[in-house]
Chain A
Amino acid sequence: MAQLSPFAAARPDEILLPAKPWFVLFTLVCGLVANTLPVSGVALLLKPDFLALMLLYWCIQEPRLIGVGIAWCVGLLMDVTDATVFGQHALAYAVLAYAAEYFRRRVLRFPLWQQAAQVAVLLLACSALVLVIRVVGGAPTPRWTYAVGPLVGAVLWPLITVVLQGPQRPRRPAER
């Protein structure tokens, strides 16, 4: 049997332990906190939407735990934190969660870096939705740099997968 490396994602045939709900909640809170970090300049430009990334991860990995409903509620929290119009992130995250549930089997078939490419599309679609809502509401169109955040998020995808899967890898010495 091939060695299971702790530094790579679980292969499709590797069976993971179920994710603990408190751990999922913890990562979501971390995502929310990371989104409110006081940064400016280039860091602000590069900053991905961590909360969307966390939601996407859990919707793909644990669709029975996190779905459209929870994503929607989390989006409302984000709307309050960002002082944006109510329902804007909620709608975007709900659509993101649905897309994740729809594409999850396909995404999980690929190696991590190819997953990242698909995640990039999903995250871009999510922020495009926010963009449409804002522009309809009368906001000016932002510059092309608006797309940098989601792309950075996609680049972080392999790292996030490996880190978040850590607690779910079976402890081999104990079980064999």
Chain B
Amino acid sequence: MRHISIEPPPFFHRGPSPLTRLAFFGLLSLALLFADTRYRYLENVRQVVAVALYPLQRAVQFPGEALGYLGTYFASQQTLASDNAAVRQQLLAQAPAVQGFPLLEQENARLRALLGMAARFPETATAAEVLYSGRDPFSQKLFVDKGDVAGVQIGQAVIDEIGVVGQVTRVFPYMSEVTLVTDKDHAVPVKVERSGLRSVMYGAGTGRLPELRFLSPNTNAEIQPGDRLVTSGIDGTYPAGLAVAQVTSVERETGQVFARVTCKPLAGVERDGQVLILSRAAVSLPRPDEPTEADAPRKGRGRRRG
């Protein structure tokens, strides 16, 4: 007969008491929390564990992918035909713009040359598939299936067919983590497409709409609900001119220093399947030197004028 699962009486030696163990592991976790948030010592450990877990994550994807594959395999003739027609129509609709593009590009290059500006780096991009979205309700993150091996780097912008999704914040060998523009305090430098007004869009976290901060309430005509926001490109992370969001409301309260502007991301930030990782734009110009003490004699005195 097999032995029966009954606890031994407590006078047998059973190692340290649960409370001791809890205290030990509790302190260890607090130390880890501190080391990870303050100093980021543990990124290497994270990399190793992430690689070990990767096969498991792919395995989870498999049933869904297989189902999707079967679904498309058995798609009816009619769906395919109608899809084809729609795509053809779309192609036709875009034809004028596409045909005009080389001309515009040449013209643009000439104008830029005239202005003496550096030509924009021809951008390459990596297509990636979304593995899963972080389960964490506190942060807005995606995991995509291209990583270090595919040449992805931290800080690259991620877009979908409509607009900006976010940027790469962590790179593992076979996957990378993308922080969405809706993540709390994720900042994207934007400008209003219609008026050229520049601002910064800050994510507000799960379930809340991002907002533009530090806009003066006097900018009456320059921003209105319905305006499209595009990247301004001044941060060197996001190339200029990508669609980001649409303004949903502008509240101007006379008592406030800044207007309260909320906007809605355009890209399918929370429901994408495929995304594009843009390579870094041209090597950004070196930062100007920090002003030395002699240059800034009255530092911290008086109000800064901007």
Partner-contacting stretch, out of B24-32, B89-97, B276-284: B24-32
Say if the beta carbon of B257 comes within 8 Å of chain A. no
Q: How many residues of A contact B (CB 8 A)?
A: 50
Smallest CB separation, A87 vs chain B (Å): 3
Q: How far is the CA of A76 from the CA of B57 in the complex (A)?
A: 16
Say if the beta carbon of B249 comes within 8 Å of chain A. no
Q: How many residues of B contact A (CB 8 A)?
A: 55
Say if the beta carbon of B306 comes within 8 Å of chain A. no
Q: How far is the CA of A43 from the CA of B162 in the complex (A)?
A: 25
Say if the beta carbon of B196 comes within 8 Å of chain A. no
Are B139 and A85 closer than 8 Å at their CB atoms?
A: no
Partner-contacting stretch, out of B46-54, B73-81, B296-304: B46-54
Q: Which residues of B contact A (CB under 8 A)?
A: 2-7, 18-19, 21-22, 25-26, 28-33, 35-37, 42, 45-46, 49-50, 53, 56-57, 59-61, 64, 130-139, 141, 143, 170, 177, 184, 204-208, 270-271
Cβ contacts under 8 Å, A85 to chain B: 33, 36-37
Candidates B4, B28, B60, B134; contact of A83 at CB < 8 Å: B134
Q: How far is the CA of A155 from the CA of B283 in the complex (A)?
A: 55
Are A87 and B137 closer than 8 Å at their CB atoms?
A: no
User: With A80-B49, A83-B177 in contact, is A133–B137 under 8 Å at CB?
Assistant: no
Max chain B C-beta neighbours (<10 A), residue from A35, A62, A83, A94: A83
Candidates B28, B132, B204; contact of A36 at CB < 8 Å: B132
Cβ contacts under 8 Å, A69 to chain B: 21, 25
User: With A18-B3, A64-B7 in contact, is A80–B46 under 8 Å at CB?
Assistant: yes
Max chain A C-beta neighbours (<10 A), residue from B25, B35, B42: B25
User: With A37-B60, A80-B50, A142-B137 in contact, is A91–B18 under 8 Å at CB?
Assistant: no
* Closest chain B residue, CB of each to CB of A32: B56
Say if the beta carbon of A68 comes within 8 Å of chain B. yes
Smallest CB separation, B128 vs chain A (Å): 14
* Closest chain A residue, CB of each to CB of B141: A83
Instruction: Show 22 residue pairs from A and B whose CB-CB distance is below 8 angstroms, ordered by the A residue.
Output: A16-B5, A18-B5, A47-B135, A63-B7, A68-B18, A76-B49, A77-B53, A81-B57, A82-B134, A84-B136, A87-B36, A88-B29, A90-B28, A90-B32, A94-B26, A98-B22, A101-B18, A102-B18, A137-B33, A139-B184, A140-B138, A140-B205
Cβ contacts under 8 Å, B139 to chain A: 84, 139
Are B32 and A86 closer than 8 Å at their CB atoms?
A: yes
* Closest chain B residue, CB of each to CB of A64: B7
Smallest CB separation, B276 vs chain A (Å): 19
Cβ contacts under 8 Å, A140 to chain B: 138, 184, 204-206, 208
Q: How far is the CA of A35 from the CA of B132 in the complex (A)?
A: 10
Cβ contacts under 8 Å, A38 to chain B: 60-61, 64, 130-133
Candidates B25, B42, B130; contact of A72 at CB < 8 Å: B25
Interface string of A52-73 (1 = CB under 8 A from B): 0000000000111001110010
Cβ contacts under 8 Å, B64 to chain A: 38
Say if the beta carbon of A33 comes within 8 Å of chain B. yes
Say if the beta carbon of A134 comes within 8 Å of chain B. yes
Smallest CB separation, B232 vs chain A (Å): 26
Are B7 and A95 closer than 8 Å at their CB atoms?
A: no
Are B18 and A62 closer than 8 Å at their CB atoms?
A: no
Say if the beta carbon of A17 comes within 8 Å of chain B. yes
Are A40 and B271 closer than 8 Å at their CB atoms?
A: yes
Cβ contacts under 8 Å, B132 to chain A: 36-38
Q: How far is the CA of A68 from the CA of B16 in the complex (A)?
A: 11
Smallest CB separation, B229 vs chain A (Å): 22
* Closest chain B residue, CB of each to CB of A63: B7
Smallest CB separation, B216 vs chain A (Å): 26
